[in-house]
Structure 1
Amino acid sequence: MSRTARADVVMGATVFTLLSLQPANAYVDPGSVSVVVTAVLGAIATIGYGARLYWAKIGAFFRRQPAAKTDDNDRSR
């Protein structure tokens, strides 16, 4: 199966699923909300740790100076 055909199948399945949703009439208890809040805080902590871990590389990327232009007429070695 080609990549575009696979993408079409996934897109079709997603659209079908979203169009066929029915109301659940379910109760969301505070424990469920607690799990979602914990997951969001964990994601924020992971992003922060990753930024701290690679801060030097990120900073070096944004601080790069443009290469110095050399004069073609000056060929002294």
Structure 2
Amino acid sequence: MCCSVEDLLNHLKDHQVDIIITGILSSDEIGISLISQIKKLNKMAKIIAFSSISSSITIQTIMEAGADAFVSKKNRY
């Protein structure tokens, strides 16, 4: 488990991972950029992004950045 973006990227340079789960805050350019950076380091890693922001534009941006799946934090019960 990594505590910062820098820690994660350094870890990925030396280790192959199968799946990464990351949270995206509202209009979080860092989180969206992180997804692109992860895919550059490990194209095979599957990325699941989750956020309480689930507008279609946000989801589209996250998926275009390279996420393989999106999970909404909003409770839809």
TM range (shorter): under 0.3
Higher percent of residues as helix? 1
Larger radius of gyration: 1
Bigger strand share: 2
Higher relative contact order, structure no. (Cα contacts within 8 Å, ≥ 6 residues apart): 2
